[in-house]
């Protein structure tokens, strides 16, 4: 493209300045100057196009990365929510289990206290009964002692009467 542009410019200037040959080299220099400017602008355009292409590729790559990261973020949010639900469920189950265990322990303790109180009442009754039996035994022993003295005296009296 640049070569064809140069050729066209050279042909135009040579036809236009054919009658004045002295001006031709100056016009050719101007033509080359314009051509150099055009080439430089073309190079800059190519460079800018290349940078634009690179930037668009980078943009596309970054958009894909963002998309992947957003999907991972959503995935991790869902996993986190599921884990929180499971954790809450397990905590609730454990709380209910602890309440049941506590209720069972309270019931067991209450039953044990009732049995203990009954055993204490029974022990108190036995103690009272034992005291009554001790008193009764004491009375029987005293009565037996008195009876044994009386019997001895009676025997002595009988023996005395025989003499």
Does the pLDDT at position 148 exceed 70? Answer: no
44 vs 109: CA distance, rounded Å: 93
The pLDDT value recorded for residue 13 is 59
6 vs 36: CA distance, rounded Å: 10
> What would the pLDDT profile of 95-143 be if each residue is shown by its tens digit?
999 999 999 999 999 999 999 999 999 999 999 999 998 898 888 888 7
Between residues 24 and 44, the one the model is more confident about: 44
- CB atoms near residue 14 (< 10 Å): 14
End-to-end CA distance of the chain: give it in Å, rounded: 180
79 vs 85: CA distance, rounded Å: 10
pLDDT band at 18 (very low <50, low <70, confident <90, very high): low
Per the CB < 8 A criterion, the answer to whether 56 and 34 are in contact is no
Element (H, E) at 145: helix 23-162
In the numeric block, the tokens 């709380």 are attached to 95
What is the domain range of residue 133? 2-162
Per the CB < 8 A criterion, the answer to whether 24 and 13 are in contact is yes
31 vs 39: CA distance, rounded Å: 12
Alpha-carbon distance values, 35 to 10, 15, 98, 113, 125 (Å): 11, 18, 92, 113, 131
pTM for this predicted structure: 0.42
Which of 6, 64, 70, 67 is closest to 33 using CA atoms? 6
Q: Extract the tokens encoding 23.
A: 């001006």
Number of domain units in the chain: 1
Which of 28, 30, 29 is closest to 14 using CA atoms? 28
87 vs 132: CA distance, rounded Å: 66
């Amino acid at each position: 493209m640049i070569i064809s542009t140069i050729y066209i410019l050279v042909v135009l200037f040579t036809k236009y300045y054919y009658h004045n040959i002295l001006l031709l080299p100056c016009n050719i220099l101007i033509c080359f100057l314009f051509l150099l400017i055009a080439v430089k602008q073309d190079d800059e355009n190519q460079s800018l196009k290349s940078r634009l292409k690179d930037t668009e590729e980078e943009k596309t790559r970054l958009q894909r990365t963002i998309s992947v990261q957003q999907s991972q973020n959503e995935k991790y949010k869902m996993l986190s929510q599921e884990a929180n639900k499971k954790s809450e469920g397990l905590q609730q189950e454990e709380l209910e289990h602890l309440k049941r265990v506590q209720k069972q322990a309270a019931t067991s303790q209450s039953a044990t206290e009732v049995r203990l109180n009954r055993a204490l009442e029974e022990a108190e009754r036995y103690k009272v009964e034992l005291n009554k039996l001790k008193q009764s035994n004491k009375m029987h022993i005293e009565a037996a002692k008195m009876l044994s003295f009386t019997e001895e005296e009676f025997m002595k009296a009988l023996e005395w009467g025989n003499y």
